[in-house]
Amino acid sequence: MKNSTIFLVLASFLLVMSACENILEPVNENLIDETYATTDPASAEGLMLNAYANLVGQYTFTDAATDDAVNNQLGNGYRRMATGELTAIYNPLNRWNLYANVFYVNKFLKVVDKIIWMTDPKGYSIQNELYRKRLRGEALALRALHHAFILENFAGKDNSGQLMGIPYYTEFIEPTGDFNLPRLTFVQTVAKIQADYDSAFALLPYIYTTKASDIADKDKPSKLTYKGNNWAVDSAYYMSNYNGAYTIVNSTKFNLRLNGKIVRALQARLKLFASSKAYLNSVDGYKEAANYAAEVLKGYSIASDGVEFYNADADNVNPEILWRKNVSMSSSLEANNFPPSLNGLGNINPTQNLVDAFYMKDGYPIGQSPANTYDPKNPYVNRDLRLDKFILRNGGSIGTSGIVNTTATDTKNGVNAVPEQSTRTGYYLKKLLRPDVVIPASGTPVAKNHFESLIRYTELYLILAEAQNEIGGPTYKEGISTLSAKDILRMIRKRAMAINSDPYLDGISSQEAMRTLIQNERRLELCFEGFRFFDLRRWGLPLNETAKGLYDDASGAGYQLIEVEERKFNEEKHRYLPLPYNEVRKFSNLTQNAGW
């Protein structure tokens, strides 16, 4: 088998789209011929690799449409949608095009069992069947995941008040075929995604390994339920050669591919989302989310360097990362987000709203610490260590850049000093950026390794904490979990703030107070990673909080709170996003979410 990285994109397979064409109708000449695919394993696998390449990662910066950030570009889509332009025709967060990846996968599933992926010396096809098994599992998991991304975007109540999901495609449809599938209900859609995840879990290795001793119990021959055509030809040969074949097919060189452990993490994420207040508000669903998360976290210890998992070359093997995209050398994130004095465009500007969510250094919210008084004239003194790691503020620095000032006297970095380049809030982004990237005024930038995280273990801890608290409160432990929500928050906060005692956390005893704390910790730990936009909606929290900043006009009056951007979301209508107008217009089976 010809090995490919998961980010290989075969240009000949790309679907040609236009604004006036249905995203679900691929142009015929760009489809790979099925007969050819069965004779060329690399080309066939390329169909599935497209679905890997187009996974939603961290670098979406949807935070610019939340209370956490604004964008300084007038034409930025998230800025436009947050200030009143969001419609069924104009939606920058349109994930409907992810259906293209579903059809890539469904095409691959038609041919995966017809291909000879590898033969072993005696011709008994153990390795070939293991390849088919694994690749089928990957494809099913990808189909589930892309549907889950689409569901997160478009789930909502229709005009009858019914909570609706999305169309679920399990077959490849030819260009002349019928794409007019109805929306399933929300419950039905979640069940379909879950069924694909379960099927994928049964087929995939739990982890990739080169050592027979690390083969998970579920993957050993006595536990297998999947049988290919030739496995029973010579059972003695099969049993004696299984381990060797398994570790070839499922070796660590495939570590960026989906495996059973990652599928369990995705199921935890799905169930947390589906069980939230804006959707099913289901204790049983929270129990499932907690059990999946606890399974993934079993035997894992929180990574000591998991706060800054992005700022050095070695971070691609940071134990904080469960699943990530490939590493690439680049400087575009820094070029887009460094302050003007470092020749950046300063695009993402964190808000004062987010800055105020960071604690004092002893873990108390600002204004509540008995030992660390919050001083509005010196607002960054004695604060949560994450504040200076994630956000570049007045008097702060990034790398060896020296002090960055955002006062009115700074003609580059000051608030609104340079239109569409300087900060609008008094803050610049620091999280996810490499401090050792150099963007020169002219010439070639000094690029560094970057990767997009797809799942971090910290997210799994926060899923477990939230789900358990919703089931039984701060000290409840579900199933095999050995950690309560309070235990988990203690670990995360100790790592984040380097505190050995946490009296503020100790004083929390109610489910409501713990919910607020978990939501804030999730806001801080996962900021700028694409979660806040959807978290606000699933939690039923306000969407219209005005984005604020902090400004020093150099008059001697000190910092002044400024209103930067009024958000124009309707609390009910914008809780659920609209399906694309063209899709609803063309297909009679598609119902629109209420209000659109």
pLDDT-derived band at 139, boundaries 50, 70, 90 = very high
**Max CA pair span of the chain:** 86
Backbone angles phi, psi at 241, to 5 degrees: -110, 0
Cα separations in angstroms, 313 against 17, 323, 431, 526? 37, 16, 15, 21
Task: Taking residues 316-335, report their average pLDDT.
Answer: 97
pLDDT tens digits for range 416-459: 999 999 999 999 999 999 999 999 999 999 999 999 999 999 99
- Answer left, alpha or beta for residue 173, where phi above 0 means left and psi between -120 and 50 means alpha: beta
Q: Which residues pair with 79 in a beta bridge?
A: none
Cα separations in angstroms, 360 against 129, 181, 395? 57, 52, 18
| Structural contact between residues 126 and 238, judged by C-beta atoms closer than 8 angstroms | yes
Q: Which residues pair with 551 in a beta bridge?
A: 560
H helix runs in 16-93, sequence order: 34-39, 41-53, 77-80
* pLDDT beyond 50 at 21: no
Cα separations in angstroms, 136 against 34, 114, 249, 499, 552? 16, 12, 13, 47, 58
Domains of the chain, by residue range, sit at 11-56+95-255
**pLDDT, position 225:** 57
- Which secondary-structure segment (H or E) carries 551? strand 547-552
Long-range contacts at 409-413 (CB < 8 A, ≥ 24 apart): 409/554, 410/341, 412/339, 412/340, 412/341, 413/339, 413/340, 413/341, 413/346
**pLDDT, position 374:** 96
pLDDT tens digits for range 157-175: 999 999 999 999 999 998 8
Among the listed residues 61, 70, 69, 174, the one whose alpha carbon sits nearest the alpha carbon of residue 420: 70
CA 232 to chain CA centroid, Å, is: 41
Instruction: Report the distance separating Cα 406 and Cα 87, nearest Å.
Output: 35
Q: Average pLDDT of the chain?
A: 91
pLDDT tens digits for range 524-558: 999 999 999 999 999 999 999 999 999 998 888 89
Q: Which residues contact 220 (CB under 8 A, 6 or more apart)?
A: none
Structure tokens at 487: 């235990």
Instruction: Report the distance separating Cα 188 and Cα 193, nearest Å.
Output: 9
| Structural contact between residues 412 and 422, judged by C-beta atoms closer than 8 angstroms | yes
Q: Which residues pair with 549 in a beta bridge?
A: 562
* pLDDT beyond 80 at 112: yes
| Structural contact between residues 101 and 51, judged by C-beta atoms closer than 8 angstroms | yes
Q: What percent of the chain has pLDDT over 70?
A: 90
What's the number of CA atoms in the CB half-sphere (13 Å) around residue 24? 22
Instruction: Report the distance separating Cα 208 and Cα 246, nearest Å.
Output: 10
DSSP 432-482: T--TT-B--SSS--B-EEE--EEEEHHHHHHHHHHHHHHHH-TT---TT--
Instruction: Report the distance separating Cα 537 and Cα 277, nearest Å.
Output: 9
Instruction: Report the distance separating Cα 10 and Cα 77, nearest Å.
Output: 28
| Structural contact between residues 255 and 52, judged by C-beta atoms closer than 8 angstroms | no
- Strand spans (E) along 22-140: 69-71
Q: Which residues pair with 550 in a beta bridge?
A: 561
Q: What percent of the chain has pLDDT over 90?
A: 83
Instruction: Report the distance separating Cα 37 and Cα 44, nearest Å.
Output: 5
Neighbours of 37 (CB within 10 A): 22
Cα separations in angstroms, 439 against 336, 349, 442, 444, 537? 10, 19, 8, 8, 37
Instruction: Report the distance separating Cα 328 and Cα 184, nearest Å.
Output: 39
Q: How far apart are the first and last CA of the chain?
A: 49
Instruction: Report the distance separating Cα 91 and Cα 347, nearest Å.
Output: 20
**pLDDT, position 534:** 98
Instruction: Report the distance separating Cα 184 and Cα 285, nearest Å.
Output: 19
Q: Which residues contact 153 (CB under 8 A, 6 or more apart)?
A: 93, 94, 95, 96, 577
| Structural contact between residues 513 and 506, judged by C-beta atoms closer than 8 angstroms | no
**pLDDT, position 437:** 97
pLDDT tens digits for range 364-403: 999 999 999 999 999 999 999 999 999 999 999 998 888 9
- Answer left, alpha or beta for residue 329, where phi above 0 means left and psi between -120 and 50 means alpha: beta
Task: Taking residues 336-350, report their average pLDDT.
Answer: 98
* pLDDT beyond 90 at 507: yes
pLDDT tens digits for range 31-69: 456 666 677 889 899 999 999 999 999 999 999 999 999
CA 189, 195, 196, 197 torsion-angle sign: positive
**pLDDT, position 466:** 99
pLDDT-derived band at 10, boundaries 50, 70, 90 = very low
Task: Taking residues 275-290, report their average pLDDT.
Answer: 98
For residue 338, what is the DSSP state?
A: S
The residue type of 164 is: M
Question: Tokens 């436009």, residue?
Answer: 80
